């Protein structure tokens, strides 16, 4: 009798615990239970699917983590140009990732190889695509200097493989970053079973991988080649109705990386200063002159005392110092990682080559309007939607080429990419945060914000009450067209009414180069150059936004 009572009491206890667990499960007691509704998440029977195992963003190839924070932007200690375009402003930058070195010749040659294999320049329709991404090797030429060895060898000779690529315009740098995004995501999807292994070898002009296309219309990626899209090791799941689910990766999986891009000016300057290990009040308020500690370009460490800490022009006719003494190790560019990194682990943030950043140039950083993730250059677009309601993917028969002011021809969109168009009133109506597609001259060049503007007739170069363009910066307007025979027709703007070289097509570049004097090594210094032109001293590196927590390791406040 006693044994029976013990058995019944234990049975009641088990049932009570089971009911309690079920109640917990239905009331949000686990990570796979909704705290909003109590229903199961990720049930095998179907329903709402969500990645509850995601921890934090992985560091993508070539990048290092830069934890965001507040700093004084634009604080220079030498204003030798007296152009007053460095008014100090306090800014906050979100955490992001940045290339530990400049993009090298070897990295860019990998890009050229992919373009050449996918869009063979032997075909007339693709020739301009390949030519449009080639660096300008003629930037090394000088009328009174012998630099042909660099013209012929710098880009392709393996002796310069780990040297920063130059001769790349801002437009080309942006296209490289887009290509890099696609290649990294393609590999990630292969490794996780969403794409067939070796799919990159099957890429053609009409059938290749685009991240945006995969996200918005995965079945149109690789030209809809099911063998590639469904040829991975991943076995498609089915719901209770027998329908396949989770066939394609989405942003919710956490597998698709944010885009590689050019860093903003604020990000680049913040990263170059390397404030992570320095917490003194003076540094925080903007009194750090170089990416390294101290006020000098030479090392004060006993072992290497007197050695230069960057590659720059030391004086007139002095690009490296005396051989064997006081030498910075390079007369032109230097191999990446030739000097110690800053506290963020970034190399050559001063010297070697100056670097493109994303921003359109203006003399003033408008901190009154925004002091968080500052960036001038937003042009908002949207995907083109077909009559069938699907996104428009560009084909080889629909490539549109643009002729730049310097005569270069580039493809507006590559085959396999989604065609885009400016946002219109459907997206801007009654919005308070933006009201137009092109915001490059927002609060600087429009009637609402400009104290000084002139109404110029574009044809006559004089004030007009008819067709005019309001301009705060009245820069030259050169025109170039291509006739039916393929010849360039150039029309130079010879007007004597032009007052500036600043317009919406000039971009900021930062940092000193092998060709610059010491004062340009200050990360706060800023200059500008046309986005379609290149030089022998401007290179670039990529950045990537961080999603999720501000710091690595999901740091939380401790009680």
CATH label of the domain that carries residue 320:
3.90.1580.10
Instruction: Give the DSSP per-residue string, 178-210.
Output: HHHHHHHHHHHHHHTTSS-TTGGGG--SSS---
Greatest mean pLDDT range, 70-84, 345-359, 456-470: 345-359
170 and 264 in a common domain: yes
Q: Give the number of domains in the chain.
A: 2
Mean pLDDT score, 58-67 = 94
455 and 366 in a common domain: no
Q: By three-state DSSP, how is residue 99 classified?
A: strand
Of 387, 361, 396, 388, residue with least CA distance to 375? 361
260 and 317 in a common domain: yes
pLDDT band at 93 (very low <50, low <70, confident <90, very high): very high
Q: How much is the mean pLDDT over the chain?
A: 84
Kindly state whether residue 237 falls inside one of the protein's structural domains: no
pLDDT band at 13 (very low <50, low <70, confident <90, very high): low
Kindly report, residue by residue over 244-298, the tens digit of the pLDDT. 666 888 888 889 999 999 999 999 999 999 886 555 444 445 567 888 877 777 7
Q: At what angle do helices 170-191 and 105-118 cross, to 10 degrees?
A: 80
Residue that is last in its domain, among 469, 484, 503: 503
Lowest mean pLDDT among 63-67, 246-250, 295-299, 365-369: 295-299
Kindly state whether residue 57 falls inside one of the protein's structural domains: no
Kindly state whether residue 239 falls inside one of the protein's structural domains: no
| CA-derived radius of gyration, the chain | 28
257 and 135 in a common domain: yes
pLDDT band at 234 (very low <50, low <70, confident <90, very high): low
pLDDT given for residue 471 in this prediction: 56
Residue scoring higher pLDDT (27 or 52) = 52
Of 535, 412, 530, 534, residue with least CA distance to 476? 530
351 and 485 in a common domain: no
pLDDT band at 193 (very low <50, low <70, confident <90, very high): confident
535 and 448 in a common domain: no
pLDDT given for residue 27 in this prediction: 41
Kindly state whether residue 204 falls inside one of the protein's structural domains: no
Contact 520/349 with Cβ under 8 angstroms?
no
Domain that holds residue 476: 441-503
470 and 355 in a common domain: no
257 and 163 in a common domain: yes
Contact 296/277 with Cβ under 8 angstroms?
no
Kindly report, residue by residue over 396-431, the tens digit of the pLDDT. 988 988 888 888 889 999 999 999 999 999 999 999
492 and 372 in a common domain: no
535 and 469 in a common domain: no
456 and 357 in a common domain: no
Kindly state whether residue 368 falls inside one of the protein's structural domains: yes
Mean pLDDT score, 150-168 = 97
What is the value of pTM for the model shown? 0.88
Does pLDDT of 557 surpass 50?
A: no
311 and 276 in a common domain: yes
Kindly state whether residue 383 falls inside one of the protein's structural domains: no
Kindly state whether residue 434 falls inside one of the protein's structural domains: no
pLDDT given for residue 367 in this prediction: 86
Q: What angle do CA 397, 399, 405 make, to 5 degrees?
A: 150
Kindly state whether residue 389 falls inside one of the protein's structural domains: no
Greatest mean pLDDT range, 39-43, 125-129, 378-382, 548-552: 378-382
């Amino acid at each position: 009798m006693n044994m029976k009572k013990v058995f019944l009491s234990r049975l009641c206890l088990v049932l009570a615990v089971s009911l309690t667990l079920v109640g917990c499960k239905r009331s949000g007691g686990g990570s796979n239970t909704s705290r909003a509704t109590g229903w199961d998440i990720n049930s095998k029977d179907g329903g709402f699917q969500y990645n509850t195992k995601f921890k934090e963003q992985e560091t993508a190839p070539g990048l290092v983590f830069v934890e965001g924070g507040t700093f004084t932007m634009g604080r220079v200690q030498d204003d030798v140009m007296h152009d007053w375009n460095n008014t100090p402003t306090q800014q906050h930058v979100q955490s992001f990732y940045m290339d530990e070195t400049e993009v090298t010749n070897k990295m860019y040659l990998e890009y050229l190889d992919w373009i050449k294999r996918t869009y063979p320049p032997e075909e007339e329709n693709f020739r301009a695509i390949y030519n449009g991404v080639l660096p300008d090797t003629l930037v090394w030429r000088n009328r009174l200097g012998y630099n042909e060895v660099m013209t012929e060898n710098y880009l392709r000779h393996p002796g310069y493989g780990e040297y920063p690529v130059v001769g790349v315009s801002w437009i080309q740098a942006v296209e490289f970053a887009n290509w890099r995004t696609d290649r990294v995501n393609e590999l990630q999807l292969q490794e996780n079973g969403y794409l067939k292994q070796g799919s990159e070898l099957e890429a053609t002009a009409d059938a290749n991988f685009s991240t945006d296309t995969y996200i918005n219309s995965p079945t149109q990626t690789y030209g809809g080649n099911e063998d590639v899209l469904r040829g991975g090791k991943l076995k498609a799941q089915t719901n209770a109705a027998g329908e396949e689910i989770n066939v394609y990766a989405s942003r919710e999986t956490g597998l698709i990386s944010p885009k590689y891009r050019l860093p903003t000016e604020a990000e680049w300057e913040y990263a170059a200063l390397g404030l992570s290990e320095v917490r003194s009040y003076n540094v925080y308020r903007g009194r750090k002159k170089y990416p390294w500690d101290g006020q000098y370009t030479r090392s004060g460490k006993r072992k290497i005392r007197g050695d230069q800490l960057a590659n720059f022009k030391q004086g007139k006719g002095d690009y490296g110092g005396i051989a064997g003494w006081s030498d910075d190790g390079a007369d032109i560019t230097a191999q990446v990682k030739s000097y110690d990194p800053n506290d963020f682990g970034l190399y050559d943030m001063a010297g070697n080559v100056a670097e493109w950043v994303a921003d359109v140039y203006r003399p003033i950083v408008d901190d009154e309007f925004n002091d968080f993730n500052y960036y001038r250059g937003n042009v908002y677009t949207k995907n083109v939607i077909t009559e069938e309601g699907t996104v428009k993917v560009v084909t080889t028969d629909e490539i549109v080429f643009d002729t730049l002011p310097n005569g270069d021809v580039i493809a507006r969109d590559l085959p396999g990419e989604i065609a885009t168009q400016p946002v219109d009133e459907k997206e801007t109506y009654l919005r308070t945060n933006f009201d137009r597609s092109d915001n490059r001259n927002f609060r600087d060049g429009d009637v609402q914000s400009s104290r000084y503007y002139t109404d110029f007739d574009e044809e006559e170069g004089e004030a007009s009450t008819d067709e005019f363009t309001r301009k705060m910066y009245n820069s030259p307007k050169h025109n170039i067209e291509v006739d039916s025979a393929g010849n360039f027709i150039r029309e130079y703007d010879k007007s004597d009414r032009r007052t500036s070289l600043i317009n919406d097509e000039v971009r900021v570049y930062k940092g000193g180069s092998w060709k610059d004097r010491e004062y340009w090594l200050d990360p706060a210094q800023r200059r500008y150059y046309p986005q379609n032109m290149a030089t022998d001293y401007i290179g670039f590196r990529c950045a990537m936004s961080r999603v999720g927590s501000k710091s690595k390791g999901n740091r939380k406040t401790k009680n």
